Amino acid sequence: MAPSRQARSSRTMRLVLLGLAAGICLLPSLPAVQAQAPAKQPPAAPQGTSQAAPQVAPQAVPGFWDPRRRPERPDLSRLTVIRFLTETDYPPFNYTGADGNPAGFNVDLARALCEEVKVTCTVQMRRFETLVDALSSNRGDAIIASMAVSPQLRARVDFTDPYYRVPARFASRKDAVMPEIRPEYLEGKKVGVIAGSAHEAYLKAMFTDAELHGYPNDDALRSALRKSEVDFIFGDAISLAFWINGTDSGDCCAFSGGPFVESRFFGEGIGIAVRKGNDVLRQALNWALFRVWEKGRYTDLWLRYFSVSPF
């Protein structure tokens, strides 16, 4: 059974603990990124008190590698070519460029990995639902297509370490931004969320005093915030980042508080898939991912593609 687009975008997420940017390293070893990281801000004023004008957080660059756990360089002599598979239409991660060639964050990252490993690489675009079958039938060596790691997919493929995650965040109108959000701050507040989603389950478990309003889809949810029918909305931070920065939002809104990344609600992260048992390639890609991050190239790619950070 092919993985769904829902699995790809990591919207099938699961349960527990508030984790404000838990497990995220903001790359302190890189001065350029250190300057980009948002400064700590005081907690929002309790309900019923006035708040100062919101501050706009600088761009934050996530990192998912621990500099203290440097992987050893694997034996790359057995690698002669890596045939990457990616999908056709998931901008800005994957899309067809103006020259007709594959483009996007995933594609540029794949090329950076190839340069690090120093082997020839190709990138082939296919429909997302066909990628795992193509990998299993040896029509490619690795899938780099924003594929969410899940127990179901682990039964069919092996994954590298995560190279990004899909956090959840709150958004509010710009005149009501909170630099920090805790359950007690949202007591009695109207919070919109997609009905039946993992985001709704998280709010029901953790934000028990908020007044939840379920919506059938993203358009209805975001419209409710634009019209001030709710005080906040809560959802997939990557899609919210592009909505906030796009024309559809009408420049109405901004993120409030930081990202929530607890894996039992919001997934294990996004990895590169390889065929089961292909440890040579998996270890080579893990090493190359660390090197690309360590050299600052991951940071360069992130800032190029994400003008409003989901983190």
Q: What average pLDDT does this structure show over 151-180?
A: 95
Q: What average pLDDT does this structure show over 139-155?
A: 95
Distances (CA, A) of 230 to 164, 167, 188, 199, 208: 30, 21, 11, 16, 16
Q: What average pLDDT does this structure show over 218-226?
A: 97
Which residues are CB-neighbours of 209 under 8 A, at least 6 positions away?
183, 184, 186, 187, 188
37 pLDDT more than 90: no
22 pLDDT more than 90: no
Q: Which two tokens stand for residue 262?
A: 């607890």
Distance, in Å, from the CA atom of 147 to the CA atom of 140, rounded to the nearest integer, reads 15
Distance, in Å, from the CA atom of 310 to the CA atom of 306, rounded to the nearest integer, reads 8
Around Cβ 77, how many Cβ atoms within 10 Å?
7
Q: What average pLDDT does this structure show over 292-309?
A: 89
Lowest mean pLDDT among 24-38, 181-195, 215-229, 243-257: 24-38
Torsional sign, CA 191, 23, 95, 160? negative
Give percent of the chain with pLDDT exceeding 70. 80
| pLDDT band at residue 175 under the 50/70/90 scheme | very high
User: Mean pLDDT across the chain, nearest whole number?
Assistant: 82
237 pLDDT more than 50: yes
Who has greater pLDDT, 32 or 263? 263
227 pLDDT more than 60: yes
pTM of the model: 0.74
| pLDDT band at residue 110 under the 50/70/90 scheme | very high
158 pLDDT more than 60: yes
Which residue carries 């297509």 as its tokens? 145
Who has greater pLDDT, 198 or 56? 198
pLDDT of residue 309: 76
Alpha helix (H) ranges present in the chain?
Answer: 5-8, 31-36, 105-117, 131-136, 151-154, 198-206, 218-226, 237-245, 263-266, 279-294, 297-305
Confirm if 63 and 25 have CB atoms less than 8 A apart.
yes
Lowest mean pLDDT among 8-17, 78-87, 125-134, 272-281: 8-17
Q: What average pLDDT does this structure show over 221-241?
A: 96
pLDDT of residue 70: 82
27 pLDDT more than 90: no
Distance, in Å, from the CA atom of 286 to the CA atom of 136, rounded to the nearest integer, reads 20
pLDDT of residue 123: 97
Q: Which of 195, 193, 263, 265 minimizes the C-alpha distance to 235?
A: 193
| pLDDT band at residue 59 under the 50/70/90 scheme | low
**Helix, strand, or coil here: 117?**
helix
Q: What average pLDDT does this structure show over 221-233?
A: 97
pLDDT of residue 60: 59
144 pLDDT more than 70: yes
CA angle 270, 100, 139 (to 5 degrees): 55
DSSP string, 37-84: SPPP-PPPPPTTS--PPPPPPPP---B---TTSPPPPP--TT--EEEE
